[in-house]
Structure 1
């Protein structure tokens, strides 16, 4: 596969990200229909595409502003949908679903405020944010695997770790982007 920013393949990461967005409705249906094996497979595929699109974009120099925005939107749509629906079905705790939603609402509101007050935004996820997303996906996979009948260790400690990373990641975003906003508005 030829690389470089002018390659005809340069839109592949965005196409993979769009696939992740298109997976959200079938994942939601599978969760609500209590089809944990199907939901597990689809979430695993979505998690794989999350890693693949970023790897291809970085490795081949196919990063774009649109790709960064689509990737962030796809992650938020997937994770919020899954956590809320798993909480609705009693498979995940409501407090954790609420924390995931609040974190993403804070980040999205900050991004919108940046766009309105300062200008175009180039998403730059931090290491703690990437770790948070990864751990959320691992947690979802664990919950769905347990629901599908796999014997797993207790998910409660992992839930607390997800919560801690959500809080750390949210605080990191607020701190980093608040500093940048103050500097940009001076």
Structure 2
């Protein structure tokens, strides 16, 4: 364990805190904790790269912490009617399907290397911006209805496009005989 990994574990610990804050209607505090989590993500990444503190644990834990936070926020906001349920189902289903594909490739002794795709990075940005926008709007009454509407549809489109791109890449990998094929 090093400092970046400890910071990342702290972000994982914030996941149930943010979820609890949201389901108890404390949206302003949830927004602030979300911002703190975002800052901690930047800090642990900076420290890991600057001081060479990158670890295999951090390579898995950091994106997992980010994904857990976003999914928990989407679930809480969806259950509360602040995000459309179709979007919540799409976001969560995409992540579950990707994990299933990775596990299946391992079980079939044809492991896939995870490489973030450009559309996936755009999807992650859209999810973060949408979550921050909804939290800020709900917590501080900013009147961002139109912005939220656009972000919901953009995030939905990017979620579907990202899943399609990963599925295409995975199918190509699984149809290749060599275990070192791209992922």
Q: TM-score, normalised by structure 2?
A: 0.84
For structure 1, the residue ranges without an aligned partner over 5 or more in a row are 1-9
Post-superposition offset of 1:14:
2.3
Paired positions, count: 177
* 2:154 aligned partner: 161
For structure 2, the residue ranges without an aligned partner over 5 or more in a row are none
Please give the residue correspondences for 1:146-157 in structure 2 after superposition, counting only pairs within 5 Å.
146-153=137-144, 154=146, 155-157=148-150
Bigger mean CA offset, 27-36 vs 105-114: 105-114
Q: 1:17 to 1:181 in 2, by over 3 A?
A: farther
Please give the residue correspondences for 1:165-180 in structure 2 after superposition, counting only pairs within 5 Å.
165-180=158-173
Bigger mean CA offset, 73-82 vs 156-165: 73-82
In 2, the alpha carbon distance for the partners of 1:167 and 1:84 equals 18
Give the SS at the match of 1:63: coil
Please give the residue correspondences for 1:90-169 in structure 2 after superposition, counting only pairs within 5 Å.
90-118=81-109, 122-153=113-144, 154=146, 155-169=148-162
In 2, the alpha carbon distance for the partners of 1:119 and 1:18 equals 30
In 2, the alpha carbon distance for the partners of 1:68 and 1:52 equals 15
In 2, the alpha carbon distance for the partners of 1:159 and 1:130 equals 16
| Aligned alpha-carbon RMSD (Å) | 2.3
- Deviations 1:102-124 (Å, cap 9, x if unpaired)? 11111111121123223666532
Q: In the alignment, is the contact (CA less than 8 A) between 2:120 and 2:162 conserved in 1?
A: yes
* 1:68 aligned partner: 59
Q: TM-score, normalised by structure 1?
A: 0.83
* 2:17 aligned partner: 26
Check if 1:38 corresponds to 2:42: no
Q: In the alignment, is the contact (CA less than 8 A) between 1:68 and 1:122 conserved in 2?
A: no
